[in-house]
Structure formats: structure tokens, C-alpha cells
Amino acid sequence: MINMMEVSETNKMIEHENLDVRTITLGISLMDCIDSDLDTLNKKIYDKITTVAKDLISTGQEIEKEFGIPIVNKRISITPVSLVGASACKTSEDYVEVAKTLDRAAHTVGVNFIGGYSALVSKGMTKSDELLIRSIPQAMAQTERICSSVNVGSTKCGINMDAVRLCGEIVKATAEATADNDSLGCAKLVILCNAPDDNPFMAGAFLGVTEADAIINVGVSGPGVVKKAIEKARGKGFEELCETIKKTAFKITRVGQLVANEASQRMGIPFGIIDLSLAPTPAIGDSIAEILEEIGLERVGAPGTTAALAMLNDQVKKGGVMASSYVGGLSGAFIPVSEDQGMIDAVNAGSLTIEKLEAMTCVCSVGLDMIAIPGKTSAATIAGIIADEMAIGMVNQKTTAARLIPVIGKDVGDTAEFGGLLGYAPIMPVNEFACDAFINREGRMPAPIHSFKN
């Protein structure tokens, strides 16, 4: 039988160490909504989402209450809209109408985000893909709860550099379209390489075409719990440190699995995967940076940061894999700047740079995330940063992403405020040497060789 020590350990994690389930994300396929008439398409999309997800919020709340575990977000991911809208949308404005429909559905159901205003263009762009990508700035400006993503590369296909160049322009245009809110639109737009089909985390969530009609994916959290646990391993060897992280990751993930099973059973929708990511929030004590500092770095960004992060990420996976029947999504430590107080502090202290963050993304998911850069940064430079990040993903057979926010009207020394879970971020300096001639080359980068690994 459960003993008092175990009960108080669990409740201490929940009450004092920010243990929560970060998201229950309901994946909904919109393939059966496809229609050549825009109004019919919008109606079908609205009806399907509001029918399948009608109990999502109430089910989440019931589980929270019965088990005493907070479930921070209830969200929806959908089939990439460039596939669903291909037949009906003849212009970018048509796509913006679909975005508005999705926003309306999100409000009706009560979810804080719907992810999947997306295009998958790792090898080439259809006309529909291009129209959707070009609609992103207005879609982000005219909606509140839509998240957008573009997959521009993969290990199997290489990198679509035409899409990278276009995305550089689109990120900039989105920043300008939402300039009144510190370019908030860019916080909901992510450019990906090797995007997974079952990711429950925003802004990169969408439901891939390989997935079922509806599916429950769950993202766990718990940086604060890991931080507290490894405080007990201060000064000890790597063996003890790694064992502590693994055991803690196991416990966190088991809670996620329990919540996923309950949600799946109550809603009558199959369980998909648990995403093992350690996801920070701006709250004090819910930070990946603090874990790395507890491991032994004075500040994140110091020499040793990449190695410490590689170890942390690997141990979280090793502990989590055994705790869950199906693992998927991004599954790694997130290192967003604006959503992690320790990262913000490290940037302000001059310890953490974009270049170091880029190195860190080689060993963990998911990429250059929530990084505010000067509003004057050119579209070509943004595309260059995106291309670098995509190359890391392509060569290392992993997911990488870039969520960059060129904050219009602000420069190094200023701070951008996004609010809520998105936090705030100091504007980080960007290398000012140009890469225009490289970005302006047309075509795509070939897929990398899959042998001779060095």
C-alpha cells in the first residue's frame, strides 16, 4: 500500500516544484472536411472541431480535480491547413478566412491554441503551400489562438532553400503585421526541419497525415522537480546525478501516462504518444537553465553547457521511455529564451548568445526558440539563421526549429513583452555580416549522405 512518504513526495512536487502536465493536445484530422467551396470548407472545419473537441476542456478539468494534478493547457492540433484548403483556397485571403474559422472554433471549444496552420514543403512547394505561407502574416495578425508552422527540410529530402528564403520574408512580415504587440505573431510561428507528426507542443503542433482521425497526445513537464531532485546530488559523481535525473523523469512521465490514459478513456479517443520534453515556464523554479546551473555551471552559456544539456536530455529520455507505453513528439529539453527565467537572466548577464544556443540545439530539442532579435534584422539574415538551424536538424537526423521574433522598433538593450506562458525576452544581438548572396541562390540543398558518419 502507498505510504505517507510517497504521498508527501508527490504532493510536494505538485505544490512546490511546479509539477504539472503541460498539455493535453487533441489531434483532429480535417481530411474529411476538404471541399472545393470555401464556405462549405469553413463550415465543415468548424463543425468537426467543435464536435470532436466539445468535451476536451471539461474532461481535462475533471482529471485535474480527481487526481489533484494541474493540466496547464488543453489544445488542439489539426491536419496541415495547406492540404485541407488546397482545393478551396485560391488566394492568401481565402486562407486567412480559414484561420478566422479556426480561431472561432478555438474560442467555442475553449482551447488556448490550435496548431496546424501549416505547410510541409521540405522538398517542394505546391501553389497551395505557397499561398498558405504568404497568408501567415495576416492570419497571425487577424487571429488570436492560431499557431503556424512550416516544415522546410528533412534528413531524407534536404532543405528547400526557396522555402527558407520565403520564410525569412514571412517572419519579417509577420513581425511587421503584429508590430503593435511586440511582434507577437512571430511567437506563434515556427520553421521546422524533420517536424514530427504527433507533436503536442505549440507552436509546431500539427496532426500529420499518417495519424488517425482523432488522437490524444500528452506533453509532460517538470523542470522544477528535476532541479529539486538533483540538489541532493550536489558534489556527487555523474553516476548518481544521472540516476537521479532518470528516476525523476520516470515519475514525471508516469503522471503524464496516467492523465493520457484517463483522457483517452473518458473521451473515447485513442491515446497517441507522450512527449517527454522538459518544458519550462517563466515561473521561478520552472527553468531548464536552473537545472544546468545546478549541474555545475555558473551561468547557462558557460563552457560545459552543451555537454551538460546533452547529458540531461539523454537521461530524461532514458527515464521517461520506460514510464510510457508510447513515446513520440519532440521528446527533449526545450530551451526557449523568453519562457525560461534562467535563460533570460543568462542573456542579460552576457553569458548566453545566439551562437551558443545554436550549439545547444545540436544535442536537445528543439531549436532556436522564442528568441527576440532586433527589428531591423533583414529577411535574408533571418533566413540565414533559419538555414543554419535546419542544417543541424537535417544532418543530425533530429527535429530542429526556429522561432525568431524580430521585434519591430526595438534593438539590443530593449525587452519584448509577450505575456503569459510566452514570457518576455531581452533583444539579443545578431551577427551583422550579410548572407544575402547565399540566401538568394534558388533551389534546394540535397539530402545529406547517410554513411561515412563523422
Shortest separation between residue 23's beta carbon and another protein, angstroms: 18
Residue number with CB closer to another protein (59 or 400): 59
186's CB contacts (< 8 A; 6+ apart) are 140, 171, 174, 175, 178, 403, 404, 405, 406
User: Does residue 187 contact residue 405 with C-beta atoms inside 8 Å?
Assistant: yes
* Interface with another protein, residue 9, by CB under 8 A: yes
Q: Applying CB under 8 A, does 373 fall inside the site for another protein? A: no
User: Could you tell me which of 373, 302, 296, 362 has the C-alpha nearest to residue 335?
Assistant: 362
Q: Which one, 8 or 348, has the nearer CB to another protein?
A: 8
Which of 11, 108, 325, 431 is the binder for another protein (CB under 8 A)? 11
Tell me: does residue 2 bind another protein (CB under 8 A). yes
Q: Which residues 43-102 are close enough to bind another protein by CB under 8 A? A: 62, 65-69
Task: For residue 142, give every residue at least 6 positions away whose Cβ sits within 8 Å of its Cβ, in sequence order, or none.
Answer: 96, 99, 100
Q: How many residues at the interface with another protein, by CB under 8 A?
A: 21
- Using CB under 8 A as the binding rule, whether residue 349 contacts another protein is answered as no
Q: Which of 260, 252, 273 is nearest to 328 (CA)?
A: 273
Nearest distance in Å: CB 250, another protein = 9
| Matching residue, cell 539574415 | 381
Q: Applying CB under 8 A, does 327 fall inside the site for another protein?
A: no
Q: Name the residue among 272, 274, 259 with its Cα closest to residue 322.
A: 274
Minimum CB separation of residue 67 from another protein in Å reads 4
The DSSP string of 225-283 is HHHHHHHTTTT--HHHHHHHHHHHHHHHHHHHHHHHHHHHHHHT--EEEEE--B---SS
DSSP 367-416: EEEEEEEETT--HHHHHHHHHHHHHHHHHHTS-EEEEEEEETT--BTBEE
- Of the two residues 11 and 36, which places its CB atom closer to another protein in the complex? 11
CB of 255 to another protein, least distance (A): 6
Q: Does 254 help bind another protein (rule: CB under 8 A)?
A: yes
By beta-carbon proximity to another protein, the closer residue of 69 and 387 is 69
Question: What sign does the dihedral 158-162-164-165 (CA atoms) show?
Answer: positive
Q: Does 251 bind another protein (CB under 8 A)?
A: yes
Asked if residue 78 lies in contact with residue 114, where contact means CB atoms within 8 angstroms, the answer is yes
CB of 313 to another protein, least distance (A): 22
Contact status: 246 vs another protein (CB under 8 A): no
Cell of 266: 473518458
Is the preceding omega at residue 164 within 30 degrees of 0, hence cis?
no
1 vs 437, which CB is nearer to another protein? Answer: 1
Q: Does 257 bind another protein (CB under 8 A)?
A: yes
Residue 70 or 429: which CB sits closer to another protein?
A: 70
Which residue stretch of 123-131, 174-182, 204-212, 250-258 sits at the interface with another protein (rule: CB under 8 A)? Answer: 250-258
Q: What is the DSSP letter of 179?
A: G
Q: Give which of 203, 82, 100 is closest to 142, Cα–Cα.
A: 100
> Taking CB under 8 A as the rule, does residue 22 contact another protein?
no
Q: Which is nearer to another protein, 101 or 253 (CB)?
A: 253
Rule CB under 8 A: say whether 266 interacts with another protein: no
Give residues in contact with another protein (CB under 8 A): 1-4, 6-11, 62, 65-69, 251, 254-255, 257-258
